[in-house]
Amino acid sequence: MEYELIRELVNPCAGEAHPQVSVSEVDTDQVDSYVQQFLSGKHSRCTKSVLDSGVLIYEIEEDGQKQKLTFTPCA
């Protein structure tokens, strides 16, 4: 399945008001496995939300850095 991925990376020094944002297309049938590549530390924390529209949101926090990955199914 193809998704539009919006990745928001929050730099602790710049604060949440200025995240680095990137947009890409991802083709995967295993989104959970795909997200594993963004988890590198022992103390990683990841929460997953599934919206009624099929959008998947992963919020990752490790070593004080936060990321938000939003996967929107492409039509």
* pLDDT for 14: 59
* pLDDT for 16: 61
* pLDDT for 28: 96
Q: How far apart are CA 47 and CA 30, in angstroms?
A: 16
Torsion, Cα of 1, 66, 39, 5 (10° steps): 10
Q: What is the pLDDT along the chain (75 residues), one digit of tens a residue?
A: 999 999 999 877 756 667 889 999 999 999 999 999 888 777 789 999 999 999 999 999 987 788 999 999 997
Instruction: Give all domains of the chain, ordered by start, each with its CATH number.
Output: 2-73 (3.40.1840)
* pLDDT for 51: 97
Torsion, Cα of 24, 37, 41, 58 (10° steps): 60
